[in-house]
Amino acid sequence: MMEDLKDKINNLKEHGRTYVESYVQLAKAKAAKGASTAVSGIVFGVVAFFFAFFFLFFIGFGLGWWVGTLLNNMAAGFFCVAGFFLLLTLVLFALRKKLILPLVRNIIIRKVYE
């Protein structure tokens, strides 16, 4: 009877140890998955920003050149396009708390818990 109880206690300790080790490995795997998802999202965001920046740069340059040709004054064309981009920047700045920041925050949270 006593030896049977000792065997059961040893089995319980071994199962408990196995459970804790499995739980730790599962937590590590979840953390690694979350971190890799977040990092891949950040890398994609940086690359997308890089291409979007150059796209907007060349669109702005071409638009400025075109408007300058229409106005027969290159400087005026580039100033008109710069004014448009300034207006766009001011609108985005005004909407940042209501639209931009919640959108970015939700994307980051979704990526972390994905």
Rounded average pLDDT over 26-54:
86
Percent of the chain clearing pLDDT 90 (strictly above)? 41
User: What is the domain count for the chain?
Assistant: 1
- Taking the C-alpha atoms of residue 17 and residue 39, their distance in angstroms, rounded to an integer, is 33
Q: Which residue segment(s) compose the domain that 57 sits in?
A: 2-112
**pLDDT at residue 107, as a whole number:** 79
Above 70 in pLDDT, residue 83? yes
| Average pLDDT across the chain, whole number | 87
pLDDT tens-digit map of 4-13: 777 778 888 8
pLDDT tens-digit map of 2-38: 777 777 788 888 888 898 898 889 888 888 877 787 7
Reported as a pLDDT band with limits 50, 70 and 90, residue 63 is very high
**pLDDT at residue 114, as a whole number:** 66
DSSP states of 64-113: HHHHHHHHT-HHHHHHHHHHHHHHHHHHHHHTIIIIIHHHHHHHHHHHHT
pTM for this entry: 0.58
